[in-house]
């Protein structure tokens, strides 16, 4: 769905040559994903850790044989990288807005 944060993340991917596709997918593909994230105005870029009670890729691999607690949740490498780039973009945008005042 269209959104400002989603658009910014797509732009980050384009600017940094990070492969990105917009397509319809089946739920089974989500279950087998290496990692997944969602975007939102207040949360920014947030890793998806479970879908229908099924643990997603990076988290699943990191937690093999362990009980999962809230402290154990981890972002995958692509999600972490995009989170860092998104934070840098927000900081640049905030600094530019302050200079305009």
8: CATH = 3.20.10.10
What confidence tens digit (pLDDT) does each residue in 78-100 have? 999 999 999 999 999 899 999 98
Encode pLDDT of 4-50 as tens digits: 999 999 999 999 999 998 889 999 999 988 888 999 988 899 988 88
How many independent structural domains does the chain possess?
Answer: 1
Report CA-CA distances (Å) from 80 to 4, 29, 47: 19, 21, 9
Res 65: pLDDT: 59
Range of the domain at 33: 4-100
Give the pLDDT confidence score for residue 50 in this predicted structure.
86
pTM comes to: 0.78
């Amino acid at each position: 769905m269209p959104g400002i944060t989603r658009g910014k993340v797509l732009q980050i991917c384009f600017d940094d040559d990070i492969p990105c596709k917009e397509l319809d997918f089946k739920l089974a593909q989500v279950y087998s994903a290496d990692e997944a994230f969602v975007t939102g105005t207040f949360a920014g870029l947030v890793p998806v850790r479970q879908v229908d009670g099924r643990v997603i890729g990076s988290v699943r691999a990191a937690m093999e044989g362990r009980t999962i607690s809230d402290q154990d949740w981890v972002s995958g490498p692509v999600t972490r990288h995009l989170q860092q780039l998104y934070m840098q973009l927000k900081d640049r945008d905030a600094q530019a807005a302050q200079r305009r005042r």
